[in-house]
Structure 1
Amino acid sequence: MKRVWAFVALLFSMLLSAIGVLAVLSSEADLAWISRTSSYFAPRGPSPDLPPTDIRLQSRNGGVEQVHLVANRHDRVTLVFVRDISSNPDMPLQLQATVRYGRNASLLDNEGLATARVYTGMQEYNSYLWNPPMGAPFLNRSEIAKLMNTASWAQPWWPVYNNDTAANIPENESVKAAYNNPASLYQSPLIFTVKLENLLPNTQYFYEIDGEYQGNFTTLPMDGDHSKPLTLGMWADVGQTNVSALNMEYLLHDVNPDLVLLAGDLSYADAFQQRWDTWGRLMEPLMSHKLSLFCNADHELNVGNEQNIGYLFRYPAPFEESNSPSFEYYSYKTGPLHIIALGSYTVFNHSSVQYRWLEQELARIDRRRTPWVLVMLHVPWYCSNFVHIGEGLLMRESMEPLLYKYGVDIVLTGHVHAYERTFPVYQNETNSCGPVHFDLGDAGNREGAYTDWLMPQPSWSAFREASFGVGKLVIYNETHAYYEWHRVACEDTNATHCATKGDNSAQRYDISDTTWVIRNTSQCPNRLMPNAMSEPVHRMPNPPAGIARPRPARPAPQLPGPPAAAPAPAHPHP
């Protein structure tokens, strides 16, 4: 009897799947893509921010902190952590640490040796420190003047002699400390890095750092393994406001991703280097438990003239593992997905190294092992918000034909502090064989939401909202992925509910946009192009049946979720 019911269920599933596929294949004839602009927006006014005194931002005074995990290879994870010994001069200088790890929390039978590095940075004091568009000041002008003032120790004849007060600090302009003022130099904490080797895919691992910090994570599936859905958490332009913290918590507890993609603009340190440390502490609950991948952006490179130094030391990219000569662009493969990270602030013309590397990388993708291709970069190529509009045009003109030729499915970007999703698009027109672009520069940084949209809404723009949130993408099989954008537009966590100041709507903390992303290989042969496959593919079952063309903002169906999450990492600090 069980066999009969199983057979009936199989036939029913096949029938509904066929209906869904037919609906997709016939959609070219009656395609009715409707652009929508949400009426909801998050105001940019002041709200409680995370001050330096927030317990989540505090140094552990030499203890292990700022722990984060970076995806490196299917059998390798990079573990990075910090010891801040600046306030503890009597603490012995130790430049190595032992990391033990294994599949059993009570039997950590593997060991790695973490080694420490430090870097020095020149401070710059961005006006957003004392006058941010969103959130309370991180420091006031009197504190900035005190940091710059050399009067208490310098000789009066010294050219850097400076007796600044708050009145000397402009309200809306950044100030640079003199290069020959030793007090303006920042020395990083000890930054330890170790590669955890010989890991099994889809396996929970426990780790312990020098016997004082414990955590756990789950490895990703090997490329070509299609046996279960793959869940991605996606965000960009994070910063360290209350909204940033809420988005981080939402990613960890509600999205529960297998992998987190952050498309640039991490800490908004902007050359006030201590904010790299406070951001690392704030993000630790998520990043010590979930694997992440990053790309660099303007706030890592040229805002405050950081030149990527803090980013390079703290968030290593797996570029050498993907035959890339630069940390600014690399690739990573897992399950059914091939990820390519690009540098928006790296030369991208046809003679550039980045372009040539990208062309080689796309050409060697095996679409039978990794049918889905996602490109992550910072500056959007398609944007209908007035802020940053057109900044990605030259890169798009150079590289978009390459992405279209090789059938890239999804492009993830940030930079614009609002949410926007496109229809499949190519050369400024809707095109069912082009990629869908997700602009997710709305994770909560202090610059606030950008609320002014280009009107009328371009035909390629599917949905846009001037608010804050994160994206969730679940890849179900070789052709179907389900996407949600979760609005987390909260600026005040003191209330008993999640609310944006001055907003009385019922959708403050909600799924605002949903869609299916469908790889139609029948009409789009550019999405086939497989290379020779050397190993069998482990396929996953069909997604829920009855799928029609994407429709924005519909309620999420009841879908099978990812595997049960491992418990949050345990360590002695909040």
Structure 2
Amino acid sequence: MGRFATLTSSALTAFALFSTTEAACSSKKNDTCPMQVRSAYAGPEGMVVSWNTYSRLSDPFVRYGKSPHHMDKVAVSYVSVTYPTSTTYNNHVSIKDLEPNAVYYYVPMDGKEKTPFTFKTSRSVGDKSPYSIAVVVDLGLIGPDGLTTHVGTGAANPLKPGDKNTIQSLEAQGDVTEFLWHPGDIAYADYWLKEEIQGFLPNTTIEGGAKVYESLLNQFYDEMTAVTGVKPYMVGPGNHEANCDNGGTTDKVHDIKYNVSICLPGQTNFTGFINHFRMPSAQSGGLGNFWYSFDHGMVHYVQLDTETDLGHGFIGPDEPNGVEAEDAGPFSTLKDAQTKWLAKDLASVDRSKTPWIIVAGHHPWYASIGTDASDVCFDCKDVFEPIFLENNVDLVLSGHVHAYERNAPTANFTADPKELNNPSSPWYIMNGAAGHYDGLDTLTEPRNSYSRFSQDTAYGWSKLTFHNCTHLTHEFVSSANGTVLDTATLFKNHKC
């Protein structure tokens, strides 16, 4: 565990418990030991606490309270779910009637952990106090089986000796950021075959690859506990959650093209993603972990699904015949379910209470990677952009392309003439540079006319700071050393 950097007091709490839990759970004798601990907002007065165990729990419960020495309340559920090929069970417990903007201490089950985990509930709607959040996209496993200081044949951008990785950088933030938002591409377990072909991991059979896939998932979620054990972890779908085949993997030496047919039951159609998380779709009228919204202080956050269910006759990137033909989704039986939900959700926002509207979706449509590149989701633009413009969305976040690009506020490929001074178009920022085994992508030259800053050489993440109801700052933080490589502030004349 020596790879982790010096932490703040809250992160140290989670790190100490994570270290103890990881060691205890490594023994199959302790098959109800909580691992991969995480929490998520569940409405203005609720939280969902989730964790994994090696065996099914008949009645998962969480002991919690306002003091680490007085956790006198208990929340119980009966949700302990698994799927074929999974080596663990996902346990989810909903906690209700919590105080806003308050720190709670909790322990899943009655484990032997000496130090509880923590979460902080959401700020009251309309609370205009400043705060910051962290955003990562395209973050994969770190360490010997993932992003490390060496790579396999054909991969690139290993970590430099002495560099912090993105998980370490997020840990070092401690209480500075209030929650972590991860809009897609989580863990990159579907890289297992590519890593084997490149000689980075030992070769297995296709059937044996299922165990490798699940091992990579579990390692990633174990690593993330040091962050997700102390702050809410809000997620959305990316293409690498869809199936086990990395959207199609080619063994060039043997001229073999692999596709989703190699995936065993449980490793297709976003199954792991569906089971592992519980996002606030029930509270916001959304659908599962795919699209939902939530309020936090002066901000209304919206998570979209750019991978499936685009509606209006469009094909999502992971639907049959889509950009990556992943044969996954759709997930709603209703026509245009996501776009109708989005229009209704945004129209209902009370801008006097939550003046800021921030949207995230995995695939970008404004990115300097060529107009014919499959990584650009123009169908997403055609579906979502008119709704954004009609409802005065302030900022749109994406990733997928493993680089960073801050664009001007843009509409229909045209930069807003007001730039960041009270524009009428949404501000678009693409940051898929969090880091995973396969490294970074190369942006094309020349950059798009609406591009304002870009880089494709450093791993990093986004920090959003809401100063008040009119000023929002975005920073690109270099994971290696914590320096800010780009910063810009948006002014919007919201009525406070």
* TM-score normalized with structure 1 length: 0.63
User: How many correspondences in the alignment?
Assistant: 379
Take 1:265 and 1:518, find their aligned partners in 2: how far apart are those partners? 30
| Distance verdict in 2 for CA 1:327–1:208, change over 3 Å | closer
Helix, strand or coil: the match of 1:423?
strand
Take 1:248 and 1:203, find their aligned partners in 2: how far apart are those partners? 25
Per-residue CA distance 1:382-410 (angstroms, 9 max, x = gap): 11035956631111022211101111001
Query: Which protein shows a greater Rg?
Result: 1
Take 1:470 and 1:401, find their aligned partners in 2: how far apart are those partners? 28
Find 2:137's aligned residue among 223, 236, 242. Answer: 236
Find 1:258's aligned residue among 175, 178, 188. Answer: 178
Take 1:444 and 1:80, find their aligned partners in 2: how far apart are those partners? 25
* 1:129-528 correspondence runs (5 A): 186-212=85-111, 213=113, 214-226=116-128, 228-242=129-143, 246-254=165-173, 256-270=176-190, 272-304=213-245, 305=260, 306-350=268-312, 352-385=336-369, 388=373, 391-431=376-416, 432-451=423-442, 453-466=443-456, 467-488=458-479, 490=480, 509-521=482-494
- Of 56-65 and 453-462, the range deviating more from structure 2: 56-65
- Of 56-65 and 508-517, the range deviating more from structure 2: 56-65
Take 1:266 and 1:56, find their aligned partners in 2: how far apart are those partners? 22
* 1:70-109 correspondence runs (5 A): 70-85=40-55, 94-109=57-72
Which residue identity is paired with 1:510? Answer: T
Which residue identity is paired with 1:224? Answer: G
Q: How big is the shift at 1:71?
A: 1.4
1:64 aligned onto 2:34: yes
Q: Unaligned regions of 5+ residues in structure 2, if any?
A: 1-18, 149-163, 191-209, 246-259, 261-267, 313-334, 417-422
Helix, strand or coil: the match of 2:35?
strand
Take 2:179 and 2:86, find their aligned partners in 1: how far apart are those partners? 31
Helix, strand or coil: the match of 1:382?
coil
| Distance verdict in 2 for CA 1:440–1:107, change over 3 Å | same
Helix, strand or coil: the match of 1:68?
strand
State the 4+ residue runs in structure 1 displaced beyond 6 angstroms. Answer: 54-58
CA contact (8 A) 1:56 1:282 kept: no
Q: How big is the shift at 1:223?
A: 1.3
Q: How big is the shift at 1:417?
A: 0.6
Q: How big is the shift at 1:362?
A: 1.1
| Distance verdict in 2 for CA 1:392–1:57, change over 3 Å | farther
Per-residue CA distance 1:80-110 (angstroms, 9 max, x = gap): 011125xxxxxxx642233111111111121
Aligned-pair RMSD on alpha carbons?
Answer: 2.3
- Of 429-438 and 336-345, the range deviating more from structure 2: 429-438
Helix, strand or coil: the match of 1:108?
coil
CA contact (8 A) 1:118 1:187 kept: no
Take 1:238 and 1:426, find their aligned partners in 2: how far apart are those partners? 28
Per-residue CA distance 1:200-231 (angstroms, 9 max, x = gap): 111111112223242112212011111x1121
Question: 2:255 aligns to what?
Answer: none
CA contact (8 A) 1:383 1:389 kept: no
Per-residue CA distance 1:437-490 (angstroms, 9 max, x = gap): 121211111121012x222221211111112101101101111012211112x4
Q: How big is the shift at 1:520?
A: 3.4
Find 2:73's aligned residue among 110, 117, 134. Answer: 110
Q: Does 1 or 2 have the higher relative contact order (CA < 8 Å, sep 6+)? A: 1
Per-residue CA distance 1:116-145 (angstroms, 9 max, x = gap): 533334xxxxxxxxxxxxxxxxxxxxxxxx
* TM-score normalized with structure 2 length: 0.72
Q: How big is the shift at 1:251?
A: 1.7
CA contact (8 A) 1:409 1:435 kept: yes
Take 2:374 and 2:493, find their aligned partners in 1: how far apart are those partners? 30
Which residue identity is paired with 1:288? Answer: G
CA contact (8 A) 1:118 1:188 kept: no
Which residue identity is paired with 1:277? Answer: N
Per-residue CA distance 1:282-312 (angstroms, 9 max, x = gap): 1000001011211011111145352111111
| Distance verdict in 2 for CA 1:388–1:264, change over 3 Å | farther
Between the aligned residues of both structures, percent identity stands at 25
Helix, strand or coil: the match of 1:73?
coil
Take 1:288 and 1:262, find their aligned partners in 2: how far apart are those partners? 15
| Distance verdict in 2 for CA 1:215–1:116, change over 3 Å | same
Q: How big is the shift at 1:325?
A: 4.0
